[in-house]
Amino acid sequence: MENLSPLTHGDLAGQPVTAVRRAIRESRYSGQTSGLGMGLLQGNLVILPEALALDFARFCQRNPKPCPLVGVSDTGIPMLRTLGADIDIRTDVPLYNVYRDGELAEQLTDITGLWADDSVAFVLGCSFSFEDALSAAGIPLRHIAENRNVPMYRTNIETVPAGTFGGAMVVSMRPLSVTDAIRASEITARFPEAHGAPVHFGDPAALGIGAMDRPDWGEATEIRDGEVPVFWACGVTPQAAVQAAKPPLCITHAPGRMLITDIPSGEVGHHATDIPVARSIEKTGI
Amino acid sequence: MENLSPLTHGDLAGQPVTAVRRAIRESRYSGQTSGLGMGLLQGNLVILPEALALDFARFCQRNPKPCPLVGVSDTGIPMLRTLGADIDIRTDVPLYNVYRDGELAEQLTDITGLWADDSVAFVLGCSFSFEDALSAAGIPLRHIAENRNVPMYRTNIETVPAGTFGGAMVVSMRPLSVTDAIRASEITARFPEAHGAPVHFGDPAALGIGAMDRPDWGEATEIRDGEVPVFWACGVTPQAAVQAAKPPLCITHAPGRMLITDIPSGEVGHHATDIPVARSIEKTGI
């Protein structure tokens, strides 16, 4: 293989998605995807053996706010035809977490060697889509301004279980003024494939959250006078459910390293049969 | 068993859903459910063996407009816990169609004898929910005024296939003034679990529909001067896909004889984790 030098986020920001995807596919970029492929839907990834796939599909159907399913591969087929013209799920995520029996075993930039005849890939919408829309509406997002990870908390809201999958819903928190919280609810409600409207705002105790300064994932964010904490269902929920179910092998994206699709944000889901890419791909028989 | 006399639609209209469900469960009512259990989500039913269930779940995920999945049973478990406190899918649909190798073999009011350890029930949202909302907004629906079935047509829009499931999208048609067509688009867009906004209005040929007076299912409806035909994705699409796939056994509802759930219309889907019934059932461990 030729000598391919690593690329930075700055190198790829503003580049067309094909260039970003090539850099990721060639393992030249393994960083976070926020701010890349702007305007395109990004997704969380969960790869499971087929024997667990029906239960996981049921888990997503029953918990659409934390688990908005935007694409499912055919069994053993790594090309995600409904999400793009040329998406190979074995190579097109910057960094993968490999879990064995529920424990993180390794991180890889390419999982071609682990993809099997019975592998099924699930892609779930992520909050990057709605964060773009909030920023465009002038709503300030502190964790982005401070270049930190959004804080995430385990709640007392039980997901509706399916098979071995279940457990607590995880939420992400963004501090906003009340006016911005209302506007953010209005805007994010339009993104059901990116967790939709908040599940709560105001009182962390109502969700069973104790210390706001000690998030279960991500980094704490200051809540200033006049602000309320606003909580959205979070894509870590299915990852936590999968880890608790302890399947022999499960592969996910590493946090913040998402799959970038060809689907414009906000146009997926209920409009899937209108998506030109899915239709045109079908016709070319890729 | 005690002697239970048949009941009519008139006997059940305005009755609480528990009374309607009991009448259906006792096979005292096998008629259509339009206008019964008002304000509650009704659903199309498809029961398949588990071996085909993952592909059918994928088919629904890829074609959410014709196939809005609102509930999936656990394998072999006939109680649909996420759709109501006491829904037994073996008895709670007024009339079932039993397909063997893709051919209609019989119609039954109770399929307890056919439910198997590997059965999986899929419930898909139906247009009754949005028709209630259109009527409430004063938009006239001719097929209802004339007490006829809505006309349905096979289109040239190919669904995105999954496994053996695929084929053409089927649409239902309602003639409306242009003003009402716009208002109806606005209203039905709010019901993604009931097929959402129309897929087309105006030109049947754009969908590959030849003769409007010869629908593929249902009954023809007059289109008057100043009206346009408005087409919505239709729940017959998955039934046609299943029939074409010719599984050894498939059970569906009979046309117009839907499952009535406990879920308020318009509150399902992305809000499923907020639904009190699903949560409270979970806690009682039914």
CA dihedral (B187, B192, B193, B197) positive or negative:
positive
Rg (CA), chain A: 18
Is B272 in CB contact (< 8 Å) with chain A? yes
For residue A100, which of A215, A246, A199 has the smallest C-alpha distance? A246
Q: Report the mean per-residue pLDDT for chain A.
A: 89
CA-to-CA separations, B226 to A49, A85, B138, B183, B256, in angstroms, rounded: 55, 42, 18, 16, 29
Closest Cβ–Cβ partner in B58, B75, B158 for A282: B158
Is residue B148 scored above 90 in pLDDT? no
Between A133 and A158, residue with greater pLDDT:
A158
- Complex ipTM more than 0.90, yes or no: no
Is A282 in CB contact (< 8 Å) with chain B? yes
A270: closest CA of chain B, how far (Å): 5
Closest Cβ–Cβ partner in B69, B192, B199 for A61: B69
Phi, psi angle pair for A276, to nearest 5°? -55, -40
Q: Give per-residue pLDDT as tens, B44-86.
A: 999 999 999 999 999 999 999 999 999 999 999 999 999 999 9
pLDDT at A127: 87
pLDDT at A274: 38
Helix axis angle for B128-136 and B178-188, nearest 10°, is: 120
Q: Nearest-CA residue of chain B relative to A57?
A: B57
Helix (H) or strand (E) holding B234: none
Is residue A277 scored above 90 in pLDDT? no
Q: Pseudo-torsion of CA A168, A173, A176, A178, nearest 10°?
A: 0
Residues 107 through 136 of chain B touching chain A, CB cutoff 8 Å: 120
Percent of chain B with pLDDT over 90: 76
Is A272 in contact with B64 (Cβ distance < 8 A)? yes
Is A159 in contact with B273 (Cβ distance < 8 A)? yes
pLDDT at B282: 37
In chain B, residues with a C-beta closer than 8 Å to the C-beta of A64 are 269-273
Q: What is the pTM of this model?
A: 0.89
In chain B, residues with a C-beta closer than 8 Å to the C-beta of A63 are 272-273
Q: Give per-residue pLDDT as tens, A82-114.
A: 999 999 999 999 999 999 999 999 999 999 999
In chain A the domains, ranked by start, together with CATH numbers, are: 9-126+245-284 (3.40.1640.10), 129-237 (3.30.2040.10)
Chain B contact probe: residue of A60, A72, A124 with most B CBs at under 10 A: A72
pLDDT at A130: 84
